A and B are shown apart, each in its own frame.
Chain A
Amino acid sequence: MPLTLQPIIRLLLDDTGTTRIVATTSEDGSPYAVISPFLHLNHDGFFVHLELLETSITNRNLLRNLWFDRKAAINLTGKDGRSVLVKGVPVKAIISGPIFSEYYTKVRQAFGDADLSTVWLIKPVEIVNETYAERKIEEETQYPFSVHLDRLVNRKKSTQKKDRP
Chain B
Amino acid sequence: MTQRGEVEHLNDIVAKYPEVPQLIILKTDVQRRGVFYTDSALSVLDEKKHSITGTHIFGTRDGKIAPRPESLLLRDGTSIITTPTAIEDNPYVVDLLYGQPYLFDGGEPIEEVDYWPAPAFYGKLTRSGIPMQKIVSARPQRLVINPHRYCTFWNNSNGCTFCDIVAQIKKGKKDLQIQVRPKADEIAEIVAEALNEPGRYSAVFLTSGSVINGTEPFDEEIDIYIEVFQELGKLFRTKKFPSQIIGTAYSEAQLERLYRQTGLMSYTADIEVLNEDLFNIHCPGKAEWIGYKEWKRRLVNAVDIFGRGFVNTGLVAGIELTTPHGFKTEDEALSRTLEEAEDLASQGVSTVYIVWSPRPDTVIGNQKNASLDYYIRLAKGLHELRVTYKLPIMFDDYRHCGNHPDTDLSRLLPF
| Chain B residues closer than 8 Å to A93, beta-carbon distance | 75-77
In the complex, the answer to whether A116 meets B199 with C-beta atoms within 8 Å is yes
Interchain CA distance A97-B116 in the complex, whole Å: 8
| Chain A residues closer than 8 Å to B106, beta-carbon distance | none
- Interface assignment of A63: CB less than 8 Å from any CB of chain B: yes
In the complex, the answer to whether A68 meets B76 with C-beta atoms within 8 Å is no
- Interface assignment of B399: CB less than 8 Å from any CB of chain A: yes
- Given A54-B399, A101-B199, A105-B199; A96-B411 close (CB under 8 Å): no
Shortest CB-to-CB span from A55 to chain B, Å, is 8
Which residues A65-108 have CB closer than 8 A to chain B?
A: 66-68, 91-98, 100-101, 104-105, 108
- Interface assignment of B63: CB less than 8 Å from any CB of chain A: no
| Chain A residues closer than 8 Å to B199, beta-carbon distance | 100-101, 104-105, 115-116
| Chain B residues closer than 8 Å to A40, beta-carbon distance | none
Interchain CA distance A94-B199 in the complex, whole Å: 12
Task: Summarize B's interface: helix, strand, loop or mixed.
Answer: loop
In the complex, the answer to whether A60 meets B198 with C-beta atoms within 8 Å is no
Interchain CA distance A27-B198 in the complex, whole Å: 33
In the complex, the answer to whether A104 meets B75 with C-beta atoms within 8 Å is no
In the complex, the answer to whether A101 meets B22 with C-beta atoms within 8 Å is no
- Interface assignment of B15: CB less than 8 Å from any CB of chain A: no
- Interface assignment of B316: CB less than 8 Å from any CB of chain A: no
By beta carbon, the residue of chain B nearest A94 is: B77
In the complex, the answer to whether A96 meets B140 with C-beta atoms within 8 Å is yes
In the complex, the answer to whether A64 meets B200 with C-beta atoms within 8 Å is no
- Interface assignment of A118: CB less than 8 Å from any CB of chain B: yes
Shortest CB-to-CB span from A50 to chain B, Å, is 11
- Given A95-B399, A104-B199; A63-B117 close (CB under 8 Å): no
The contact string, 1 if C-beta is below 8 Å from chain A, for chain B 394-415, is: 1000010000000000011010
In the complex, the answer to whether B77 meets A97 with C-beta atoms within 8 Å is no
In the complex, the answer to whether A101 meets B21 with C-beta atoms within 8 Å is no
In the complex, the answer to whether B198 meets A95 with C-beta atoms within 8 Å is no
| Chain A residues closer than 8 Å to B200, beta-carbon distance | 96, 101
- Interface assignment of B256: CB less than 8 Å from any CB of chain A: no
Interchain CA distance A63-B76 in the complex, whole Å: 7
In the complex, the answer to whether A60 meets B117 with C-beta atoms within 8 Å is no
In the complex, the answer to whether B77 meets A95 with C-beta atoms within 8 Å is yes
In the complex, the answer to whether B23 meets A96 with C-beta atoms within 8 Å is no
Interchain CA distance A120-B330 in the complex, whole Å: 38
Which residues B14-50 have CB closer than 8 A to chain A?
A: 21-24
In the complex, the answer to whether A95 meets B75 with C-beta atoms within 8 Å is no
Interchain CA distance A94-B114 in the complex, whole Å: 10
| Chain A residues closer than 8 Å to B141, beta-carbon distance | 95-96
Number of interface residues of B (CB under 8 A): 22
The contact string, 1 if C-beta is below 8 Å from chain A, for chain B 70-84, is: 000101110000000
By beta carbon, the residue of chain A nearest B409 is: A67
| Chain B residues closer than 8 Å to A54, beta-carbon distance | 394, 399
- Given A95-B140, A96-B117; A63-B198 close (CB under 8 Å): no
In the complex, the answer to whether B75 meets A63 with C-beta atoms within 8 Å is no
- Given A63-B412, A67-B21, A96-B141; A101-B76 close (CB under 8 Å): no
In the complex, the answer to whether A96 meets B73 with C-beta atoms within 8 Å is yes
- Interface assignment of B185: CB less than 8 Å from any CB of chain A: no
Interchain CA distance A60-B409 in the complex, whole Å: 11
| Chain A residues closer than 8 Å to B76, beta-carbon distance | 63, 66-67, 92-93
By beta carbon, the residue of chain B nearest A115 is: B199
| Chain A residues closer than 8 Å to B412, beta-carbon distance | 27, 60, 63-64
- Given A66-B76, A105-B199, A116-B199; A97-B21 close (CB under 8 Å): no
In the complex, the answer to whether A104 meets B198 with C-beta atoms within 8 Å is yes
- Interface assignment of B331: CB less than 8 Å from any CB of chain A: no
- Interface assignment of B339: CB less than 8 Å from any CB of chain A: no
Shortest CB-to-CB span from B77 to chain A, Å, is 4
Shortest CB-to-CB span from A59 to chain B, Å, is 9
| Chain A residues closer than 8 Å to B198, beta-carbon distance | 101, 104-105, 108
Interchain CA distance A104-B73 in the complex, whole Å: 19
In the complex, the answer to whether A97 meets B75 with C-beta atoms within 8 Å is no
Interchain CA distance A104-B197 in the complex, whole Å: 10
29 interchain pairs (CB within 8 A)? Answer: A27-B412, A54-B399, A60-B411, A60-B412, A60-B414, A63-B76, A63-B412, A64-B412, A66-B75, A66-B76, A67-B24, A67-B76, A92-B75, A93-B75, A93-B76, A95-B140, A96-B73, A96-B116, A96-B117, A96-B141, A96-B200, A97-B117, A100-B199, A101-B199, A104-B199, A105-B198, A108-B198, A115-B199, A116-B199
A interface residues with partner B (beta carbon < 8 Å): 27, 54, 60, 63-64, 66-68, 91-98, 100-101, 104-105, 108, 115-116, 118
B interface residues with partner A (beta carbon < 8 Å): 21-24, 73, 75-77, 114, 116-117, 140-141, 197-200, 394, 399, 411-412, 414
Task: Please name the 8 residue pairs, one residue from A and one from B, whose CB atoms are nearest each other, closest first.
Answer: A104-B199, A96-B140, A67-B21, A97-B117, A93-B77, A95-B77, A92-B75, A105-B198
Contacts A60-B411, A67-B22, A95-B140 supplied; 6 other A-B pairs, CB < 8 Å: A60-B414, A93-B75, A97-B114, A101-B198, A115-B199, A116-B199
